[in-house]
Structure 1
């Protein structure tokens, strides 16, 4: 394997990108490609960025050619250097677990006990049977797969919502205006939300209407407000992962294309004893209106 570059100028040229793709197709490892680039005069940071962006673009082109939706930018917490904590301005949040495929990150202490209690108390007078988006029409409907009670706050509806939304925006590096309002959900014994995807299926007739409000959903963060005595975990069946619903903690996951290949299938396991309360925040491609 060999390469020639304009290393002194450190410009990522089309020729370099073509060479990177050729090396990947020939079966060379990412480490060996990176070493060859550095040996040819590329600085490590430029080489890594060039390789990552090139291969990401190449994989996306292949996916689209096979009929998959194009990948889009997604929220991404700053965990590249494996930090134990993230400073989000008004709070230090623990990084408890990080998975790349699917992209799932578990955070500790995103919310205080007081914030959990306040959200529940503010939500209680407005609780009703939870609805789901009706992708055939763009409206809402009762769904037998979801047996919780719930309500929505408007984005920025009160000081508490604004504070939490701004904290989430800093945590996942995503504009606050791209988020839907906080949804509060209550699960009693026997209730659940069977495994589902949060993105909107492009094949459904109502999806174009839904997307007008802010584009596709690209990320979700589920915050646990009250712990059940048993059950109620957030499950990811494709990777056999279950996140325990510990009060104040949260699970974040993103999905760069509206397709099962993201492995973002997830659900709320049945509550076996006690009550589970959660706050869900969905993040869109663009400003949600």
Structure 2
């Protein structure tokens, strides 16, 4: 059963979608990709109604929303200025094992901001909390990403499949991705498991984004998508990727590059502890089929505790076995990759 707050959130999001349907006639310019709804100007400081902030439902079933102009230009520029001196090569974590590494599946650079790092960051965190209906404390620190020309992030879930992923505030429930600069071509966020409305997004999208649901990077716009269904299961439609940047705005960096800057926040089902004064609290999740190795299963209900007690090392023949004689606890021992074909994706850190 889903946690009570998840049920309440599902009801509120359903109400938002209903409002969007009711308002669709008032915004005839809304595309077939979704329904338009007016964004509450109170979400933004110094909001200019003439700029027409708007929330658009991009996909109702998957609960994917676009908030146009969630951040103003000065906020975007402030975040870039804070982050740029501290950017490092982004990493990935294998969703089955929890092991972190640098991988060519993700070629961007990034860094994390502390929660409430300054008044502007605190204001943005409050705005995200108000939009998502989730407490500020459930969110990880805002991550700033920079994709240079040709860089991309292949399809992945933000959902964690390993135990370590739920040890601090439970699993990631939703993601808010905000663009900090405009890009002329490429750099789209795509959802490969969702076809493009009408089958084709048109020539204004790069080839990477033509046939699937996709969002073009526009300064200040934010995309909200959910990694978990209201029932507690993985939302498979949340599979997403970042297309390569082809043409963009040049930033006054030490070297002249073409890139897209993005601000990302992962929001957990419970409080995400930050700093030495907060104690992480694990929140159990509904058992999932591992989308990376769906055929990999334990053959004994005791495999998990056995693995925790060191039996994967002490009793290799029974627990893991060989390809000729596979063992009984391959999944709990984290050896699926040695026996089964990889069919999934990696999740970002």
TM over 0.5: yes
Residue aligning to 1:249:
221
Partner residue, 1:84: 38
Instruction: Work out whether 1:270 is the aligned partner of 2:244.
Output: yes
User: Is 2:270 aligned against 1:286?
Assistant: yes
Partner of 1:126: 86
Total equivalences in the alignment: 216
> Is the Cα–Cα contact under 8 Å of residues 187 and 246 in structure 2 kept in the other structure?
yes
The range that moved more, 96-105 or 106-115, is 96-105
CA gap 1:264/1:89 in 2 versus in 1, 3 angstroms: closer
**Aligned match of 2:163:** 208
- Specify which of 155, 167, 181 is matched with residue 226 of structure 1: 181
1:117 is paired with a residue whose SS is helix
The answer to whether residue 157 in structure 2 is matched with residue 185 in structure 1 is no
Equivalent-residue separation in structure 2 for 1:276 and 1:259 (angstroms): 32
RMSD, aligned α-carbons:
2.3
Q: Determine the structure 1 residue equivalent to 2:291.
A: none
CA contact (8 A) 2:228 2:235 kept: no
Alpha-carbon distance in 2 for matches of 1:260, 1:172: 18
Q: Deviations over 1:20-50 (max 9, x none)?
A: xxxxxxxxxxxxxxxxxxxxxxxxxxxxxxx
**Consecutive unaligned residues in structure 1, runs of 5 or more:** 1-56, 61-70, 202-206
For 1:95 and 1:137, locate their aligned partners in 2 and report how far apart those are by CA, in whole Å.
37
Q: How far off its partner does 1:97 sit? A: 3.4
Q: In structure 1, which of residues 90, 94, 108 is the aligned counterpart of residue 68 of structure 2?
A: 108
- Tell me by how many angstroms 1:210 deviates: 2.4
Aligned to 1:175: 135
* Alpha carbons of structure 1 residues 127 and 172: separation in structure 2 relative to 1, 3 Å: same
1:124–1:212 CA distance, 2 compared to 1 (3 A): same
In 1, the alpha carbon distance for the partners of 2:220 and 2:88 equals 23
What's the CA shift string for 1:225-262, capped at 9, x where partnerless? Answer: 01222100000111120101111101101132476653
